[in-house]
Chain A
């Protein structure tokens, strides 16, 4: 047993007072959770401490909070780990971000999170005719969507989504991961319609800025950003959906830019995203970006030489990477539940090459635990 100090963010909407911090000392073994610490404080000292919680085992998704500034489930975060990430040996617990606070650590999930979930038509639009028995589906497809199905709707990713902070209307990581759960599901009949509507929404698919915050935040390894990128790859590469937000074009321009230059040539990226320097759509955007370019020049971030004459060309290694990836017959996607090989690999999976078709799921080594960031395919 050891003593830990919890610094809880308290807010009582009925008091007319602002939110404040309150310290409680709790006595628990170091591997016990922050939630257990809070529950001990509530049991022994103050029953009015508000926090949603139920299962205590990281499956119900109730106790999303920020611990030392980082989104997490209180039940999944050990006290010793929380001490290690604290600034001054005191564990700070506050409500999640991007959602209004109702009381203490309880936020209004309905006003933000659930509203966004409902916006992505979150139910199966089943292919007709519905079979008498089950739909026949490749095993890897079901394992693949299980990663987004593993989302427990805790809101941790929503809490710290930077794009949502800037654009509160952004559909956001949890709802987009939910969308992938249907787009990746071969039983759904409306993949293209779903993707089109997400792509055409100016607060939708292409609003994500790849900041990885949601990947770090997710307590279940759902990898929301990864699901968003998969939606984009299917929308842009497979279905060739050209959205009015220039999202798909921007992605293609980005890839082409790197292929050409090895590192990003920003002066080309912007016009290329709008169809090239001479494209009528590009001009207003380029003029519009001038103030930002001038500011960057004043601060020495760019020089006229760099803007106009990009000195880099893609190296042999970069070209080899593109060749390797573009030469694949099938795109490999990483997935937490699909583990292609490990030390006791028993050879190729039984289902390989047996005629099960329509598989977008690739194989990654998901053996690392946590988010699927481990190495690529076989």
Chain B
């Protein structure tokens, strides 16, 4: 039975950063991922990473922009930590090899990004996430002696001891179907978000809320789950991401009348207002009949105003996306975009060291909610979040391991999980719905009812459907009876994770009877600081039903004020 001081689930940026930090602190480390690490969804982050590294910038300005972007729901102590440690972290990445673009002096170049008062986004063309992820993986290879890798292993359960402390996981090797119990003094969840609850979404097929559901089932709390970010520029065709870097480089948003409509909604920041503001503006234009495209459900993103040479150098990936997925040469004509699900601000509630309510269990990255993003995340703050809190979790877990003996665990849970998998495989074909049908209905429901604009009636419908789908998932059948690369059975387990995540999102959205950040209730259109300047916390009740409580918002230097861009 493998045993490690620190076991990390998920090998995107947060997980890899946690692994390297824990190893550096002297812990024995393993990192496990259901896909090869470089396939992790961090790879899709395009635009860049924020840090106040320019001579005329100050981390406090970054922190204020983040607080304002969060619509004052972010915890300011955590935001201060993230922003004040950002420069050092970005320089560390530079030192280990990230190929950040340079200015004429050879220093890190910075680009403009939404909601930021200054240019403070370091970048590698528009493949920043990919460049960072691949460089961290280079470091994992370099440190192979101290970080053991379990690539293509799927976690089925977190292990708890009698006192409710997390002491390891049960996982299945995808390639062989072999189950294994992993002992660990600490487990760090870094398994990403739950965008697959939505269709369409910019998120990869692997973003199925695994860690959110695993932690929730193990007794941890979820926070801010109603805060679901719609990115303003996703490809109308299929929901793929067009980086905010495009607007950072100067691209315009146009409605059917050819107007830069952002002047109505954010006269100062225009296209570079925060994402919730821009997405709402677009949706309003669309609802009021000024959308473009055959169904009028899109607006134009006009990148042709950016010099072609600059596009080819700095926005290469969206040139490819335009060409490959929309048949449009973005250097020559506008491209149709619409708001699309992109990120969840909420997640497993942690403190600034990544600790959850379950001893021995940490969370970092999109799976976690510290909360540094509050009601709305600024572009290029997610990569920063993954690295800062990945590192802090890794370091804290390594230190905690020093004083603990290796826990003893049995294979009881492994046997339960193996039986659970066998029972899914054994479900009679035709005895229920197909897994894929349930996922489709979940995704379209969430995108219809828990989107940019929400109201009580729609949210009520969504909750009813999510709960019915959970019933149906109990008899949903699969086709693959094998052990080798049985992706079908893993998909059935993921569906359960998705339903838990989706339920928490809907429950949170129903509870919050105000409009703040990404949550806009047409039946409660105003922000209500008196009643709702607080986090909604959801934990599993005795029967597994969601139980709501509240947590205060930490305010240090920036009291809530009216939010204008």
A binds B: yes
A interface residue numbers (CB < 8 A to B): 12-14, 31-33, 42-44, 46-48, 50, 52-62, 76, 78, 102-104, 106, 109-110, 117-118, 122-124, 126, 130-131, 133-139, 141-143, 145-146, 149-153, 181, 185, 187, 220, 336-339, 341-346, 350-351, 354, 356, 366-367, 369
CB proximity of B191 to chain A, nearest CB, Å = 13
**Count of chain B residues with a beta carbon within 8 Å of a chain A beta carbon:** 75
Question: Which of chain B's residues have a CB closer than 8 A to the CB of A33?
Answer: 325
Question: Which of chain B's residues have a CB closer than 8 A to the CB of A122?
Answer: 138, 141
A137–B481 Cα distance when bound, in Å, is 55
Judge whether B101 and A124 touch: CB under 8 Å: no
Kindly identify, within residues 230 to 275 of chain B, every residue whose CB is under 8 Å from any CB belonging to chain A: 237-238, 240-241
B94 at the binding interface (Cβ < 8 Å): yes
B38 at the binding interface (Cβ < 8 Å): yes
Question: Which of chain B's residues have a CB closer than 8 A to the CB of A141?
Answer: 102
- The 7 nearest A-B residue pairs measured at CB: A43-B436, A124-B97, A48-B480, A136-B106, A47-B479, A47-B488, A123-B138
With A54-B39, A185-B97 as known contacts, state yes or no: A134 contacts B479, CB within 8 Å.
no
Kindly identify, within residues 90 to 146 of chain B, every residue whose CB is under 8 Å from any CB belonging to chain A: 91, 94-97, 99-109, 124-125, 127, 130-131, 134-135, 138-139, 141-142
CB proximity of A107 to chain B, nearest CB, Å = 11
Residue among B96, B107, B127 making CB contact with A146, cutoff 8 Å: B127
**Contacting chain A: which of B316-324, B336-344, B406-414, B517-525?**
B316-324
A12–B242 Cα distance when bound, in Å, is 38
Question: Which of chain B's residues have a CB closer than 8 A to the CB of A146?
Answer: 99, 101, 124-125, 127, 131
Question: Which of chain B's residues have a CB closer than 8 A to the CB of A367?
Answer: 308, 312
Judge whether A339 and B309 touch: CB under 8 Å: yes
B359 at the binding interface (Cβ < 8 Å): no
Judge whether A356 and B106 touch: CB under 8 Å: yes
CB proximity of B88 to chain A, nearest CB, Å = 10
Question: Which of chain B's residues have a CB closer than 8 A to the CB of A134?
Answer: 91, 94-95, 100, 107-108
> CB-nearest residue of chain B relative to A53?
B205
Judge whether A50 and B312 touch: CB under 8 Å: no
A78–B142 Cα distance when bound, in Å, is 38
CB proximity of A225 to chain B, nearest CB, Å = 20
B434 at the binding interface (Cβ < 8 Å): yes
Question: Which of chain A's residues have a CB closer than 8 A to the CB of B487?
Answer: 47, 50
Judge whether A46 and B479 touch: CB under 8 Å: yes
A250–B485 Cα distance when bound, in Å, is 46
B465 at the binding interface (Cβ < 8 Å): no
Question: Can you pick out 17 interface pairs between chain A and chain B where the beta carbons lie within 8 Å of each other?
Answer: A47-B479, A47-B491, A50-B487, A55-B43, A62-B39, A122-B141, A124-B96, A131-B95, A142-B100, A142-B101, A143-B101, A146-B99, A337-B312, A337-B313, A346-B307, A351-B104, A369-B323
Question: Which of chain A's residues have a CB closer than 8 A to the CB of B240?
Answer: 56-57
Question: Which of chain A's residues have a CB closer than 8 A to the CB of B237?
Answer: 31
Question: Which of chain B's residues have a CB closer than 8 A to the CB of A61?
Answer: 38-39, 43
> CB-nearest residue of chain B relative to A352?
B104
B179 at the binding interface (Cβ < 8 Å): no
Judge whether B204 and A56 touch: CB under 8 Å: yes
With A102-B485, A344-B307 as known contacts, state yes or no: A47 contacts B138, CB within 8 Å.
no
> CB-nearest residue of chain A relative to B106?
A136
Judge whether B141 and A48 touch: CB under 8 Å: no
A341–B309 Cα distance when bound, in Å, is 7
CB proximity of B494 to chain A, nearest CB, Å = 12
Judge whether B39 and A52 touch: CB under 8 Å: yes
Q: Among A44, A56, A141, find the residue whose CB has the most chain B CB atoms closer than 10 A.
A: A56
Kindly identify, within residues 141 to 196 of chain B, every residue whose CB is under 8 Å from any CB belonging to chain A: 141-142, 151, 175
CB proximity of B182 to chain A, nearest CB, Å = 20
Judge whether B134 and A149 touch: CB under 8 Å: yes
> CB-nearest residue of chain B relative to A117?
B141
Residue among A12, A103, A135 making CB contact with B94, cutoff 8 Å: A135
B35 at the binding interface (Cβ < 8 Å): yes
> CB-nearest residue of chain B relative to A338?
B313
Residue among A48, A60, A187 making CB contact with B479, cutoff 8 Å: A48
Residue among A62, A126, A142 making CB contact with B96, cutoff 8 Å: A126
Residue among B103, B124, B436 making CB contact with A139, cutoff 8 Å: B103
A12–B40 Cα distance when bound, in Å, is 26
